[in-house]
Amino acid sequence: SDLPALDARITVCRACNRLVAWREEVARTGRRASFAHEPYWGRPVASVGTTDARIYVVGLAPAANGANRTGRMFTGDRSGDWLWAAFYRAGLATSPTSTAAGDGQRLIGARMGAAVRCAPPANKPTTGERTTCAPWLAREIALMPEVKVLLALGGIGWGAALRVAREAGWTLPRPQPRFGHGATAELTRPDGRPVTLLGSYHPSQQNTFTGRLTEAMLDEVLETAKRLAEA
Ligand code: SF4
């Protein structure tokens, strides 16, 4: 697979001035006190998971003190803790927690990536930054012919997945499908193979603290993803 080569290229990308400055500044001087003595990754974060995954998670972006610290997607913050625990409950990960490379955690038939690979200030990438980063995701999905489900976390993940599909020449439903928790849209690759876009609320603390997203709701979406992936 060419995915490891792509990952290597992603992790040295410096295309977005604002994000390069932010990810490095946090790594150098903006560390959270509890992590003050840890080395920070401070670079773009490559995807994690198997190369023949059928389920591909499209997240938003690394968190400044989360994946920007650990270097592993969705690892080192509360959102990630939620997601990994749910993947474990669904039988899609070997352990309920993800802490750092070398912890033995493995995804099973799944891969996790993001719309933007560098931590943005206030977790908000600009439209321009999303546009600049989109080709990385497009190249990755193009190298993954087995993907049957794009699991989009939040509206930004949903939008990024649709953009990738459009730019790759996939057939999309019209009008453009709207994001929702549990929403689905049928996409078709140029060779005719179907891919289902599946939406889930992002497991951000904003959603999990308020009960907008419960564990049961996330479990249900993952069961749907598994069913679609096996179809
Ligand atoms: Fe490169 Fe994406 Fe990071 Fe921008 S956000 S610097 S395009 S990896």
Q: Whose structure tokens read 């069961």?
A: 223
Reply yes or no: is the peptide bond before residue 175 cis, omega within 30 of 0: yes
pLDDT at 1: 61
> Ligand 1 pocket: which of 129, 131, 139, 164 to mutate (most atoms <8 Å of CB)?
129
Pocket of ligand 1 (CB under 6 A): 10, 13-16, 19-20, 44, 116-118, 129, 132-133, 136
Looking at the CA of residue 116, tell me the nearest atom of ligand 1. 5
Tell how strand 184-188 and strand 48-49 pair up.
Answer: unpaired
Instruction: Show pLDDT as tens, one digit a residue, over the chain (231 residues).
Output: 699 999 999 999 999 999 999 999 999 987 777 887 888 999 999 999 999 999 999 999 999 999 999 999 999 999 999 999 999 999 999 999 999 888 999 999 999 999 999 999 999 999 999 999 999 999 999 999 999 999 999 999 999 999 999 988 999 999 999 999 999 999 999 999 999 999 999 999 999 999 999 999 999 999 999 999 998
Integer angstrom CA distances of residue 57 from 163, 190, 199, 221: 15, 21, 10, 12
What whole-number distance in Å separates Cα of residue 228 and Cα of residue 54? 9
pLDDT at 30: 76
Centre of ligand 1 to C-alpha 117, Å, is 5
Structure tokens at 51: 């190369």
Residue 174, classed as helix, strand or coil, is coil
104: which residues sit within 8 A by CB, 6+ positions away?
A: 94, 95
pLDDT at 102: 85
pLDDT at 34: 81
Q: Whose structure tokens read 């049961």?
A: 216
Q: What pTM did the predictor assign?
A: 0.96
Integer angstrom CA distances of residue 160 from 51, 118, 218: 20, 15, 20
